[in-house]
Amino acid sequence: MARPPSPRPMLPALLLLLPLLLRAGDHLPTEGRLMNSCIQARRKCQADPTCNATYHYLNSCASSISTSSPAEEPSVPEDCMEAAQQLRNSSLMSCTCHRRMKNQATCLDIYWTVHPARSIGDYELDVSPYEDTVTRKPWKMNFSKLNMLKPDSDLCLKFAMLCTLNDKCDRLRKAYGEACSGSRCQRHTCQRQLRSFFEKASEPHAQGLLLCPCAPTDQGCGQRRRNTIAPSCSLPSEAPNCLELWHICLSDPLCRSRLVDFQTHCHPMDILGTCATEQSKCLRAYMGLIGTAMTPNFVSNVNASVALSCTCRGSGNLQEECERLEESFSRNPCLMEAIAAKMRFHSQLFSQDWTASTFSMMERQDKNPALRPQPWVPSLFSCTLTLILLLSLW
């Protein structure tokens, strides 16, 4: 009996599949690659004389936008709004930026130039200038060296030690520690170094320091957590009016961007507290505000409540608006639950029974989006192994 023909045509097909397997996860934007950067969109606009002229006109509109005091209703000249409408079909209208990108300030300036109405606070709640990206870096922390601490050390101290054991985290933390120390305190320098830490340190280290869980009776732990952002230097010594902070923030493209990002991702959509996006995005937006005029912090050493360092006293006819702004931090159910979920996650990391804790975490990740891992992305090793298995069958 003749042997059936060998399915050799399958080999070219498998070889053709290899590049697709190796790029299987590339549909997810990463930190180093933006889908439509405002800097790239601006270059495209420069090649079009009409688009370029309109952009320059919009750029001159920045000085025409009135935001002279919190009590005044800000406005944008009608001709500036018409110019922005002329760019509605340009890639500039959908461009975005990234917190860790180079030339972030330039990117944000471009974004706000083409969105003049949003620059005065007249923005929708789903138009953050920042693109949502996926971080594929695995959690890497050296827990083994924590045995040098006392077994009953609080978790804030343990996370501080983990940061110290990481060269990059330790270097960035020392930089803002020096800039924010009492004798050398200059608020703008301190805030800039704080922003640098939360932008450049790995997210697990930064979140561990900021959102370490403490027992209500452990005030030493709570004080360590409150002092993470060096509030004696980074925050005003006397609480200003919250609307004044809001006004200062709107005048700064970076602070304005972080505030809109926070309102986009930590916004309850209804009276039931349904949140607009995932808890991880809300926490990332919350941390992005640290080091700006709208820097929030824990209000005491005994609980995990957070608030802006401001007051609504003396708001006059704008009392309601002021309270709404203040309560978007202090009484925000989306933010409160995101912080609580992350603290529960951090507690489980230091559970005594590591195997049981890992299993428990996996169970809770299925129920809680904040603890759920990112979608699996095939690695080079797994793709190569798949190809070898297919070839062995061939």
DSSP 191: H
In this prediction the pTM is 0.77
Each residue of 83-133: pLDDT tens digit? 888 888 889 998 999 888 889 999 999 999 988 766 555 444 457 899 876
Give ∠ CA 65-120-78 in degrees, rounded to 5.
50
How much is the pLDDT for 75? Answer: 67
CB atoms within 10 A of CB 116: 20
Q: DSSP alpha helices (H): ranges in 303-353?
A: 319-330, 333-349
CB 333 within 8 A of CB 268: yes
How far apart CA 287 and CA 262 sit, in angstroms, is: 9
DSSP 3-state of 378? coil
Supply φ then ψ for residue 121, to 5 degrees.
Answer: 95, 0
Q: What was the pLDDT predicted at 270?
A: 77
The CA-based angle 204-111-39, given to 5 degrees, is 80
Q: Identify which of 26, 17, 3 has the alpha carbon closest to the alpha carbon of residue 389.
A: 17
Residues of the chain with pLDDT under 70: 1-34, 63-75, 117-126, 133-150, 352-394
pLDDT of amino acid 15: 38
- Secondary element (H or E) of residue 161: helix 155-164
Provide DSSP, 48-85.
SHHHHHHHHHHHHHGGG-B---TTS--B--HHHHHHHH
Helix (H, G, I), strand (E, B) or coil at 307: strand
The token duo for 67 is 């935001």
Identify the DSSP state of 186. -
Residues 317 and 387: their CA atoms lie apart, in Å, by: 69
CA neighbor of 109 nearest in space, from 88, 126, 129: 129
Structural domain boundaries in the chain: 38-66+75-115, 141-349
The pLDDT value given to residue 100 = 83
If you write DSSP's letter for every residue of 84-124 in order, what string do you get? HHHTTTSGGGG-BB-TT-TTHHHHHHHHHHS-TTGGGT---
Domain 141-349 belongs to what topology?
Annexin V; domain 1 (1.10.220)
Amino acid symbol at 282 = C
Of 226, 213, 380, 192, whose CA–CA distance to 301 is shortest? 226
**pLDDT, tens digit, for every residue of 154-188?**
899 989 999 998 999 999 999 999 999 877 799 99
DSSP secondary structure letter of residue 298 = E
